[in-house]
Structure 1
């Protein structure tokens, strides 16, 4: 103040404010970075325990038809893929859009699939091979399919495919459709509540991947007079080197570059009673034997109802590739 006789104070320099603000920001960001490092470090300390080895990989391109054993597969958010073959991305449907499986037409299990030169080839007893382009013309109409009460799209594979399927099954008129990558998948959670909102499916019943162990099959067969095959149960990943039903306890697993989350047991139905060699449905075994010892806890009957449990469903946490011979690890 002029004339006050007091010495004037120096004005604050703008650089001081800048330095203070910078230091404050460094403290904030440093704290956040330290928290992230500790979080990642805690995750990194999660131990992996080897629980088995992949003995077989199966893709089922056409729902309910014969599976294709592959040595290597890519695991997408919708399940296994090898070349043009993606798991359960083709299906048979009625003219009204309702899906047809081997529950209604057991002879579907006799149709085998190969993939070569951009085509899927369907083969069946007493039928000429059917060749279907893996990439259909956009002129082919898109159909709405009804699967477990939910609508999902599929591009029609054409008249030749429809006539071939109809002629082989010798029933009503059927059509073959293909789920394409630009179509909207179903939410697994809308079919079975234990799944997560991130778990997506095309035409599988409710899960992108199903895992089963050889030991579980062997234990079941020890109880059966007539042995059954792994083909009765249609897993995607078959594991050896573990005990019976150990797959039930694998909450999180890592195989190759793939990480998966165990979600729920696989509830079994009369499909398991279809002989994969003859296409004849027994309607009794192995289902009756499974019901004698593989039922759910009463607290889970709202999920599984009266279905016995065999195999385990997994959701995809990290996509990648895997192959036969890969070790299977569970996170502990």
Structure 2
């Protein structure tokens, strides 16, 4: 079976929900549109929101596992985001204008011993990815299957917070891609590096409760802590679910 795009996901507010898409128009040198468009700075953050900043400045699933159970929907015309959580219900708001309601909604998901969410930042024309360059995260579903088998439990791909999910590959095939070009239709991605994983992946994306030591399994069984790769768009165009892929 030829390797194909199995799913496309964006995360409008960094670490605060995921949204499934059927197609995405990528632009050269840019992140996925509306992916990590906003980020939630905590009260100890050292960023003024005018430029990219490291993930340590933001509320995220590695420190607050409850955030991992959020799902999101964007209304691009209105500029609003709807967040849903099994314990918090639903909220629709404009992240640029309606901070207080969001902070009240998210506060119960934040551990009391962690820096609390304080403000939402948005850098023009720059998604707040974990990398200091505009990246797209690309994941291999077969690698997730291999890890699930090793851990003897099903692992949702939602744990990995990816943008482009691929099937039809061999497990860990993506580990050979660094420095190569991934072509999907007319779109091309330069594969920059592997993604080293953090505690966020130990939380169940349905419940927000840590229930699987993914990091220990990666290290002990496979001898590494990577899952997926970061790519940079070098040739723009539209990617659709079902598109074939090619590694050059």
Equivalent in the alignment of 1:32 = none
Greater CA radius of gyration, 1 or 2? 1
Equivalent in the alignment of 1:164 = 105
Report the alpha carbon displacement of residue 59 of structure 1 after superposing the two structures with TM: 0.6
Structure-2 separation of matches of 1:256 and 1:179? 31
Match of 1:295 among 212, 220, 223: 223
Structure 1 runs, 4 residues or longer, greater than 6 Å off:
none
Q: Is the 8 A contact 2:150 2:221 kept in 1?
A: no
Q: Is the 8 A contact 1:51 1:330 kept in 2?
A: no
Structure 1 segment 1-332 matched on structure 2, within 5 A: 52-76=3-27, 77-81=29-33, 86-97=34-45, 98-116=57-75, 117-118=77-78, 119-127=80-88, 129-133=90-94, 136=96, 157-169=98-110, 171=112, 173-181=116-124, 185=126, 202-206=127-131, 208-250=135-177, 251-282=180-211, 285-295=213-223, 308-331=225-248
Structure-2 separation of matches of 1:264 and 1:133? 34
Report the alpha carbon displacement of residue 173 of structure 1 after superposing the two structures with TM: 4.3
Report the alpha carbon displacement of residue 255 of structure 1 after superposing the two structures with TM: 0.9
The 1:330–1:218 alpha-carbon spacing in structure 2 relative to 1, beyond 3 Å, is same
TM-score by length of 1: 0.62
SS at structure 2 position matched to 1:223: helix
Report the alpha carbon displacement of residue 170 of structure 1 after superposing the two structures with TM: 6.6
Structure-1 separation of matches of 2:70 and 2:150? 30
Q: Is the 8 A contact 1:212 1:235 kept in 2?
A: yes
Q: Deviations over 1:93-144 (max 9, x none)?
A: 222333111111111112221123512112223435322236x36xxxxxxx
Report the alpha carbon displacement of residue 248 of structure 1 after superposing the two structures with TM: 2.1
Structure-2 separation of matches of 1:293 and 1:129? 39
Gaps of 5+ in 2: 46-56
Q: Is the 8 A contact 1:294 1:309 kept in 2?
A: no
Structure of greater relative contact order (alpha carbons < 8 Å, 6+ residues apart) = 2
The alignment's C-alpha RMSD in Å is 2.3
Structure-2 separation of matches of 1:181 and 1:290? 36
